[in-house]
Structure 1
Amino acid sequence: MPRSSLFWRIKWLLILFVLLLIDIGPFPLTALICLYIVLFRPRWFKQFVSRLYPQE
């Protein structure tokens, strides 16, 4: 696995962990973010997936 791929995996794992902690509160933030990604397919998400799984 390329080193940059490992960096992005760790970075997004930490982001998801923070969202998990926020989600425990009264406002379900993680579900809204996932719904946004599924409905609108933002460019930043495509770039994230490309960095996470680079084609060789």
Structure 2
Amino acid sequence: MSRWSRIVDRLSTEDRGDVPGWVLITLMTAGLVIVIWALAGPALSGVFEQAIDRVTGF
């Protein structure tokens, strides 16, 4: 097999990847974001409110 044939053969094959794996990674990432947001949301809200109070207090 010539070098050109190998290049054409390699380019002509479809490689779609592991779609179920990407779906799982996406769902797990979304789940982690939701959990972290639920845990840190009130604390971040408090920090934000304190910062706004300090800025508007001047």
Question: Could you tell me the TM-score, scaled by structure 1's length?
Answer: 0.41
Greater Rg by CA: 2
Q: Which has the higher contact order (CA 8 A, sep 6+)?
A: 1
TM-score between the two structures when normalised by the length of structure 2: 0.40
